[in-house]
Each structure stands twice: as C-alpha cells, then as structure tokens.
A and B are shown apart, each in its own frame.
Chain A
Amino acid sequence: DGGITQSPKYLFRKEGQNVTLSCEQNLNHDAMYWYRQDPGQGLRLIYYSQIVNDFQKGDIAEGYSVSREKKESFPLTVTSAQKNPTAFYLCASRLHGYTFGSGTRLTVV
C-alpha cells in the first residue's frame, strides 16, 4: 500500500547536537511538507518542496534544514541552532490533498 513512512517514531537529542528525521513516500507525489506540532498551537509549516532539488522555507524555518535529492525522500535536520526543538514533527505529501506520516516525537535531553 502507498503511504508515508516517518522514522524514528521517538528521537532523543542532546543539547548542541544535530539530528535528522526521515520521511519517505511511495505515492509518487511531487510536493512534500514538514510541519511542527506544539500543544495549543496547531501545525506550523517548517519547509516544503514542490520538486526534486528544490525547497522553500515555511513559517518557522530557523534552526532547520532539508534536502530533496530524490522524489521519495524529504529528510529534515534539526540543527543545534533550533533553541526549542522538543515537539512532534509531521511529514506530509500532497496530490489533491494532504497525506500525513505517523510523526516523530523529538525530545531534547
């Protein structure tokens, strides 16, 4: 079955460390998105990509980086510059509507 796979489900980061969240889709969707979810704040757009080798900043891109070397993959790196990275991260791809992954919970320890 087609879908979006996010891994890992839970991730722990030490202060000052970069970590990468994986997002893979086999839906053949061109557009992919990363959202951050915090309690009481809904979903906020971090980065998005419409095609391979192209991506754009969303509303809260500071402290994050992405790449889009393959259509199927859109990894998100949370850098040490992100001061408050503890959150739930959702990846999505889009054709006519969004399809979401199951998310990654990132915690700073």
Chain B
Amino acid sequence: AQTVTQSQPEMSVQEAETVTLSCTYDTSESDYYLFWYKQPPSRQMILVIRQEAYKQQNATENRFSVNFQKAAKSFSLKISDSQLGDAAMYFCAYRSPSYTSGTYKYIFGTGTRLKVLA
C-alpha cells in the first residue's frame, strides 16, 4: 500500500526568506501524481503544485517549486520569498494512476504547519 510521510509537523520562516517542506512516499507503482495542497486558516484546501512522475523536470508555480527525486521517493516543496499569506498547513498527496475500485485514490500526508515571521 502507498504511504505519504511528512516528518516536519511545524516549520517557521522569516518573511522574504526561503523554506523547504519535506515529503517522502512509498509506492511500487512507476507512474503516479504528486501534489502539494495549502490549507490556510479558512480551512479551504488549495492546490499549490502538481508533479507527474513520468516528467523529469521539476514543477514550478511562481514562488513555489518542487524537488522531485523519483528514485529516493522524495517530493519537497520550496517556497521562495515567503510572504505572510503563505502561513498555512501544507499537505503532500499521492495519487495512484490506477483506476482501481472506481476511483483515483489520493493519499495525504499528515501535514506541515508553516509559520511566517514578520
């Protein structure tokens, strides 16, 4: 069974600095999708970035980028020029490519709470 591990329950970063959130996963599948979701105090889940496992190039969305190491099964999120609005809970998620049991199953990590210090 697939698992997703976020080993940092909480991280802090100074405004305008860079921070990296860690995520590791375990799977026997060769093709899959990885996501980072942001959950601000409003509790709404917002997609930050997505990575297809078959792509070697790391995904980038403005100040957010990932370091995808497929062999190491690592998927870290780097936030550059951190802003106060980046403060939130961040969840790493794995999606199987297999349309098993009628759905694409997502598996979420336990989250990392990011604090941004002014």
In the assembled complex, A98 has its CB within 8 A of some CB on chain B = yes
Q: Is B55 an interface residue (CB 8 A)?
A: no
A97 touches B50 (CB 8 A): yes
- Contact yes or no, B44 A41, CB < 8 A: no
- Apart from A43-B91, A94-B104, A100-B45: 18 A-B pairs, beta carbons within 8 A: A31-B103, A40-B9, A41-B110, A42-B4, A42-B91, A42-B110, A43-B108, A45-B106, A48-B102, A56-B101, A56-B103, A90-B45, A97-B50, A98-B47, A98-B106, A101-B44, A102-B44, A103-B44
Residue of A42, A54, A100 touching B111 (CB-CB under 8 A): A42
User: Given the known A-B contacts A56-B101, A56-B102, A94-B104, are A42 and B44 also in contact in the complex, defined by CB atoms under 8 Å?
Assistant: no
Evaluate contact between B102 and A50: CB separation under 8 angstroms.
Answer: yes
Do residues B109 and A97 form an inter-chain contact, with CB atoms below 8 A?
no
B35 within 8 A of A: yes
Contacts of B4 in A (CB 8 A): 42
Chain B residues within 8 Å of A, Cβ to Cβ: 4, 9, 35, 42-47, 50, 91, 101-106, 108-111
Q: B105 near A100 (CB under 8 angstroms)?
A: no
Cα(A61)–Cα(B44), bound, Å: 22
Residue interface bits A20-55, CB-to-B below 8 A is 1, else 0 = 000000000001010000001111010010100010
The CA-CA distance from A98 to B38 in the complex, in Å, is 13
> In the complex the two chains form, is A98's CB within 8 Å of B45's CB?
yes
Which residues of B have CB within 8 Å of A54?
Answer: 102
Cα A98 to Cα B44 in complex, Å, equals: 12
Nearest CB on A from B66, distance (A): 15
